[in-house]
């Protein structure tokens, strides 16, 4: 997995509880913490969170087989999302190129040649 460049000035290291897959814990905490930060965000200020409040978050721990299933499904869906995102980016670039080609054609005098 490729990660974008990040500023980790607010990096928090959380000790993984026994019986929790790293992927499951990471996906769960990222989803919960992101939604809590978004809910408390005001304006455009840089969001921060209190580590004590994060430490108090309940983490549901399903059986190991269920954690594996959840992690695999999240990874599958993220992969699909990444593929769609790449297709959208490619089509956006194609649309930009087509727009530029149209503008070049329209303002180069070739339009009258096309329409006789």
19 touches 63 (CB < 8 A): no
Global pTM reads 0.65
Highest-confidence segment of 24-28, 36-40, 74-78? 74-78
Task: Kindly indicate the confidence band of residue 14, based on its pLDDT and cuts at 50, 70 and 90.
Answer: confident
Interval 35-72: pLDDT, tens: 766 665 555 555 666 677 777 778 889 999 999 999 99
Strand segments, DSSP code E, in 12-110 are none
Q: Residue 78 and residue 27: Cα distance in Å, rounded?
A: 11
What pLDDT shows up at residue 16? 79
Counting beta carbons within 10 angstroms of the beta carbon of residue 67, is it exposed (0 to 12), middle (13 to 18) or buried (19 or more)? buried
Per-residue model confidence (pLDDT) at position 39: 66
CB 61 within 8 A of CB 20: yes
């Amino acid at each position: 997995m490729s990660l974008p460049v990040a500023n980790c000035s607010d990096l928090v290291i959380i000790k993984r509880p026994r019986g929790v897959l790293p992927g499951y814990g990471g996906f769960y905490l990222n989803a919960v913490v992101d939604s809590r930060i978004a809910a408390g965000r005001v304006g455009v200020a840089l969001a921060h969170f209190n580590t004590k409040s994060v430490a108090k978050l309940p983490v549901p721990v399903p059986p190991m087989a269920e954690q594996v299933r959840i992690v695999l499904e999240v990874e599958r869906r993220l992969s699909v999302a990444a593929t769609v995102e790449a297709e959208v980016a490619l089509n956006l670039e194609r649309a930009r190129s087509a727009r530029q080609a149209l503008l070049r054609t329209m303002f180069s005098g070739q339009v009258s040649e096309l329409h006789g």
